[in-house]
Amino acid sequence: MATATVHRRGRLQREHAPTLYTQAWYPDAGRQPKALIVLVHDFHSHSGWLKRTCRALAGTGYAVYAYDQRGHGRSEGSRSYFDRFDDVLADLFAFTQHVRARRKARRKPSLPLYLLGASLGAVICLHAVAKAPDAFAGLLLVAPTLESPGTAGLAASAMATLAPRSRSAEPRHSRSVSRERRVQHAYTKDRYVDRGRVRARPAAEFAAALASLQSACDRVSVPVLVFAGARSRSKQQQRVCDLLERLSSQDTAHVTLPRGRTEVLRERCKDLAHAHMVTWLDERL
């Protein structure tokens, strides 16, 4: 049963790296969290886009932490840009270390930490677990993007080198995000959402990260829960099945959400997704 939650905002300042805007949602004062969850949002999005999910999880006893990725939302950095995929991985590790260090400084008990990744954020989470498998208790992947967000080939590689911040002039249409008008409206009106196409360098870096997913999956042995929308493209649904087969984990689950597309945590199926998350997490504590 969901209860009241506490919300906190902050900044993660580091030397030689952009300052990251952070948020946290805790169970009501006095309640010990069951576990920690770190949210990694989609590219071109921000941590507040999934705040309802964060509140829902906190209301059932989990401490949820999130940050705006560099160049996104209220974090520092060039808009929707990074030079290397390793930079966004480093941001995630810095944030999880920050979360653990703050709890230790306040003499809070050590708790298992799960990663929750949405779309391209799921790719970041997969690589993080592959790089440090003992650091995380499990993975929740929401509508993971398993195809390159930009064009491919020699021309794309050249653009990534010669004009790394360039991108197509045509913005993404809200209908590509969801078929629900309420979600489309929120997407269009959210000032922290970048509706432009992925820039050349980040697109090339994500393409390389996707190409190396096979070796990364071989090192992912933690429990994994994957959500996909029933209305997502058939190719995407097949890619999700292929991903699960490649994982080394012996504890995997795949939930297809009815009427969902890509923004399943904002669409009508969101409450069902939240219920599945809580049940799955509770069973692994």
Residue 142 bridge partners (DSSP): 118, 227
Mean pLDDT in order along the chain per 10 residues (285 residues): 84 96 91 96 96 97 98 96 96 98 92 97 97 97 85 65 75 75 93 89 91 92 94 80 92 93 93 98 97
281 Cβ contact list (under 8 Å, min separation 6): 34, 35, 37, 62, 114, 138, 140
pLDDT the model gives residue 69: 98
DSSP state of 252: E
pLDDT the model gives residue 271: 96
Quick check: 117 and 123 in contact, CB under 8 A?
yes
CA distances from 223 to 32, 34, 38 (A): 23, 17, 15
**Residue 175: both structure tokens together:** 């209908």
pLDDT the model gives residue 157: 73
Q: Which of 137, 96, 6, 135 is nearest to 59 (CA)?
A: 6
Quick check: 1 and 27 in contact, CB under 8 A?
no
pLDDT the model gives residue 98: 97
pLDDT the model gives residue 111: 97
**Residue ranges of domains in the chain, CATH in brackets:** 5-151+210-283 (3.40.50.1820)
Q: Which pTM value belongs to this model?
A: 0.94
pLDDT the model gives residue 168: 62
